[in-house]
Structure 1
Amino acid sequence: MASLSNALSKTTFDIVQKLWNLCNILRDDGVQYSAYVTELTYLLFLKMAEETPKGNTHIPAEYRWPTLAEKDGKPLFEHYRKLLLELGNSKNTRVAAIFNNAQTSLRQPRHLHTLVSAIDGLDWYSARQEGLGDLYEGLLQKNAEESKSGAGQYFTPRSLIDSMVRLMQPEPGEVIHDPAAGTLGFLVAADHYIKEKTDQLFELSPELQEFQKKQAFYGMELVPSTHRLALMNALLHDIHSDIFLGDTLSEDGKSLTNADLVLTNPPFGTKKGGGTPTRDDFTFDTANKQLAFLQHIYRSLRLPSTNKPGGRAAVVLPDNVLFEDNTGAKIRRDLMDKCNLHTILRLPTGIFYAQGVKTNVLFFQRHKEETGGTKNVWVYDMRSNMPKFGKRTPLTEQHFADFEKAYGKKPNGTSKRIDQGDTGRFRKFTRKEIADRNENLDFSWLRDESSSSSDELPEPDELATAILERLQTASYEIKALQKELGA
């Protein structure tokens, strides 16, 4: 994972560190790691609104930041709880969504007063100059780096997100979608990329500026507490598009279509309870969430038109998506029929906190027909003979430099490429070679001689979870086969 200090300016990093140190106060009041950022979000929303021009417009005067800063003891505590309740019922939809069902985890009025005073005393002039959005993103990343919080289990490293965005080259006027939005890392990075290319949107027409702020990005997040953080992140980056609370693998997700670009890292594992997606528009039933998300993604891409190429996607997926038999093979075949699956990046191990998880990035573009989309698949092995990444050896943008050079300058994989052979990292495999392997895309050819290459067993709980997920998937597929056979 990219080091937080490398990703932020020194000023922002210092403020983030001070904010995170406030979590010691929360811990002293019995607040769990998982609730740290949520609790701070309530307070930071009010303080940041105070520090932003027109930020207080939608907050009633009696519930703005100064009303907290001027109180102490029990009156402060009672006012804060009432404030959370009232803002949760706000007429402003974004404010109401951020404070929906908000409750404080604090129990001691003195701890609340300490938090308010400490936040009030931060260098907000510098924070405004650096960007409040960067400050909040830094806090989210800091939370993810703390393994005790649980937030970092499948946190997508910022260096990986930025590499995917650079390769996909999002453009003004495009509709960009993340069906598993998390705290909005991918969409914020895409927004940042576009703003850098357009002088913070000032080079665009007023109509296109409005589109970028209100219609360019949309996503869906299943977990209410994470959705709250995503909304806050969007607000601080001046993104006012729809970020829905819902389950993409249910009927909620059927409206998430017609995307020019999908950037995402879907959650790993089977659907809760071992059930299947409740969508009735999926061709293939599966209990494997990644395979279900993959179906959603390639079906949601916009078809090519006379003046626009087909929608494109860059998606983080675990190894099992590349080799799982039966339904997995059918979904991969359907993907390669409907899309040009032009590139697979085999990612290093250790970049997610669940150390046993091996992942890849799939890059593909929607084909104009329903068949014949993929002719060749290029695979880049960034896993073999690589360092063991973690806190001591952070994953940085430099680690992606050779891959980005091999990928080429065109987002849809059409740049001239060189097959580096069985001793190089980048190789081409024909559609026939893949079909002869029962659509197995799990290509590995380099002898891994790195010190971290001895496939170390995951922790026992991780191993047990992985076995359980495979058993649940297998159990569902057996039942599906019995149904087909009328047994």
Structure 2
Amino acid sequence: MGNQDIVQKLWNLCNVLRDDGITYHQYVTELTYVLFLKMMKETNKESILPEQYRWNSLTERHGMALQQHYRQLLLDLGNEGNETVKQIYMHATSNINEPKNLEKIITSIDQLDWYSAKEEGLGDLYEGLLEKNASETKSGAGQYFTPRPLIDVITKLVDPQPGERCNDPAAGTFGFMIAADRHIRSQTDDHFDLGQKESEFQKYQAFSGVELVKDTHRLAMMNALLHDIEGEIMLGDTLSDDGAILKNFDVILTNPPFGTKQGGERPTRDDLTFTTTNKQLNFLQHIYRALKANGKARAAVVLPDNVLFESGVGAKIRADLMDKCNLHTILRLPTGIFYAQGVKTNVLFFTREKTDKDSTKDVWVYDLRTNMPSFGKRAPLTVGHFDAFVAAYIAEDRTKVEDERWNVFTREDIRKKGDSLDIGLIADESLSAYDNLPDPVASAEEAMGKLEEALALLGEVVAELKAIDAKPDSDEEVNGKEQHERKNRYEQQNSEFAKVAEASGVYGDE
């Protein structure tokens, strides 16, 4: 049994909890409490747990005795003992009201093929569960879960190296940092090429993050632990004073939350140069200020379209970014790849330079949005969709890349646009049907001419009718031949009027 099979079996267990009214997100959190204990047993790390709260303490109890023991376990593990354990179980409460449901979950987890799971990696198993949760739109989890293919491509291009301090100020489930760790492990033979000191740095100091939501922070802690990462994941708000101490990073990879601060209030940090209620603009300020100003520190950040074109303070922040950093690449992402289907997003790639003025010379933009398929659950985004972009990004000479989606804009071009970065989108083929429409001014003039002709003919018809009505209809003044001629002339004029009026649209569909 592979990890995907195990993930599906674990996911199916949520059906057991429906009667308890538990949501998808609550289910994953609840599952994390139980899975952590089982995984500590399977990885021989139960020593970090009090003996009375290890896995076997759950399997040997039943009914109400099991439920009472479980609730006490959650309370005690969140208040005492190992620091990592405390953070995972901090403020933990169970929403499972039926003892039989709790017992069913514990029994089912105990019977899974854990040998196969360990062979494939327990971290990958847990990430698979988080990804499954994000793909279920009812769970709402997709709003903070960045698609794995996008994370992998971004991480590959930013290329974090051993010894570099990496951070995600909006960590979510810690996906970016886990991808960065995986990237470095692949380059160092799983750290075997590193010395002991360097290896310990990678485990304890290289990767850090901040997460605001308690339950999401819990998932991030579990995810990191199962990937053998023990860097600091702060429970807090980057846009508060908590974030002011986050500085001097070599690499920042992140997808900040969308929207404004709750209630529309401004961030409580007083060290940001520009104040705004726009969360993404504040995160952007934090990110380029938190990088080392050494010409090597770099970032990739996922941002919605409004960050590219918002005027006022938005334009000032973009100008400040381009002064302090070399904003060398923007990737316009396809729509439909996030939980919020209508949100249009981009990835900004930049390097923090040593100077604070005129660091950006040219901005290369790749349009992966226009004329792309509609992505979603049935048509998932894959790494392969980024192949052409990756080729353009890493090209030794970007000017020689022949791809209509790949365009460059000078800093002067952008300055003329009011420092708007809403640039680089190619022609939309869905609009090509309108390309051969006649000039609207010429069409309007032609229609007016036809209407004037129709009105003139109508005037003649009215005048003729009045003339007929004015003369007495008698054999003495109007013989049969004249009557016949007038009738024919009237019908001819009326026919001509009808043709002109129809051509000019006077009659319409009726």
TM-score by length of 1: 0.87
Determine whether 1:373 maps to 2:359.
Answer: yes
Asked if 2 retains the 8 angstrom alpha-carbon contact of 1:274 and 1:287, the reply is: yes
Determine whether 1:139 maps to 2:129.
Answer: yes
Aligned to 1:57: 47
- What do the CA deviations read for 1:33-90 (whole angstroms, capped 9, x no partner)? 220110000000000001002x111101100010100110000000000000110112
2:161 equivalent among 171, 176, 179: 171
Structure 1 residue identity aligned to 2:292: R
Structure 1 residue identity aligned to 2:414: I
Question: SS at 1:341's partner residue?
Answer: strand
Determine whether 1:268 maps to 2:261.
Answer: no
> Equivalents in 2 of 1:14, 1:370: separation in Å?
52
> Equivalents in 2 of 1:246, 1:154: separation in Å?
16
1:216 equivalent among 206, 209, 217: 206
- What do the CA deviations read for 1:312-351 (whole angstroms, capped 9, x no partner)? 0000000000000000000000000000000000000010
Asked if 2 retains the 8 angstrom alpha-carbon contact of 1:384 and 1:450, the reply is: no
Structure 2 residue identity aligned to 1:248: T
Asked if 1 retains the 8 angstrom alpha-carbon contact of 2:146 and 2:255, the reply is: yes
Aligned to 2:111: 121
Aligned to 1:479: none
> Equivalents in 1 of 2:328, 2:425: separation in Å?
18
Give the gaps of 5 or more residues in structure 2: 435-510
Aligned to 2:398: 417
- What do the CA deviations read for 1:148-206 (whole angstroms, capped 9, x no partner)? 00101342110000000010111100000100000000000000111111111111011
> Equivalents in 2 of 1:394, 1:33: separation in Å?
21
1:75 equivalent among 41, 44, 65: 65
1:449 CA displacement: 2.0
1:404 equivalent among 390, 395, 403: 390
Determine whether 1:109 maps to 2:90.
Answer: no
1:255 CA displacement: 1.1
Asked if 1 retains the 8 angstrom alpha-carbon contact of 2:392 and 2:401, the reply is: no
2:147 equivalent among 133, 145, 157: 157
1:384 equivalent among 370, 375, 400: 370
- What do the CA deviations read for 1:200-236 (whole angstroms, capped 9, x no partner)? 1111011100000000011100001100000000100
Asked if 1 retains the 8 angstrom alpha-carbon contact of 2:49 and 2:81, the reply is: no
> Equivalents in 2 of 1:190, 1:27: separation in Å?
37
1:388 CA displacement: 0.3
Aligned to 1:325: 311
> Equivalents in 2 of 1:301, 1:176: separation in Å?
10
Determine whether 1:358 maps to 2:325.
Answer: no
Determine whether 1:283 maps to 2:273.
Answer: yes
1:372 CA displacement: 1.1
Asked if 2 retains the 8 angstrom alpha-carbon contact of 1:419 and 1:428, the reply is: no
Aligned to 2:406: 426
> Equivalents in 1 of 2:81, 2:287: separation in Å?
34
> Equivalents in 2 of 1:160, 1:337: separation in Å?
27
Deviates more, 1:146-155 or 1:124-133: 146-155
Asked if 2 retains the 8 angstrom alpha-carbon contact of 1:312 and 1:365, the reply is: yes
Aligned to 2:428: 448
Question: SS at 1:22's partner residue?
Answer: helix
Question: SS at 2:150's partner residue?
Answer: helix
TM-score by length of 2: 0.83
> Equivalents in 2 of 1:297, 1:352: separation in Å?
22
Q: Which has the higher helix share?
A: 2
Aligned to 2:218: 228
Asked if 1 retains the 8 angstrom alpha-carbon contact of 2:240 and 2:269, the reply is: yes
Higher Rg of the two aligned structures: 2
Question: SS at 1:142's partner residue?
Answer: helix
- What do the CA deviations read for 1:351-383 (whole angstroms, capped 9, x no partner)? 012111000000000011110110000000000
Aligned to 2:249: 259
Question: SS at 1:435's partner residue?
Answer: helix
Aligned to 1:337: 323
> Equivalents in 1 of 2:302, 2:18: separation in Å?
34
Report runs of 4+ in structure 1 exceeding 6 Å deviation: none
Aligned to 1:437: 417
Question: SS at 2:160's partner residue?
Answer: coil
Aligned to 1:458: none
Structure 2 residue identity aligned to 1:442: D
1:419 CA displacement: 6.3
1:27 CA displacement: 1.6
Aligned to 1:42: 33
1:110 CA displacement: 0.4
Question: SS at 1:377's partner residue?
Answer: strand
Q: How does 1:453-472 map to 2 (within 5 A)?
A: none
Query: How well do the aligned residues superpose, as a CA RMSD in angstroms?
Result: 1.5
1:30 CA displacement: 1.4
Q: 1:154 to 1:182 in 2, by over 3 A?
A: closer
RCO higher in structure (CA 8 A, sep ≥6): 1
- What do the CA deviations read for 1:416-450 (whole angstroms, capped 9, x no partner)? 202668x8000110000000000001014422125
Asked if 2 retains the 8 angstrom alpha-carbon contact of 1:406 and 1:418, the reply is: no
Aligned to 1:205: 195
Question: SS at 2:408's partner residue?
Answer: strand
Structure 2 residue identity aligned to 1:416: D
Identity %: 61
Question: SS at 1:351's partner residue?
Answer: coil
Asked if 2 retains the 8 angstrom alpha-carbon contact of 1:387 and 1:450, the reply is: no
Asked if 2 retains the 8 angstrom alpha-carbon contact of 1:179 and 1:264, the reply is: yes
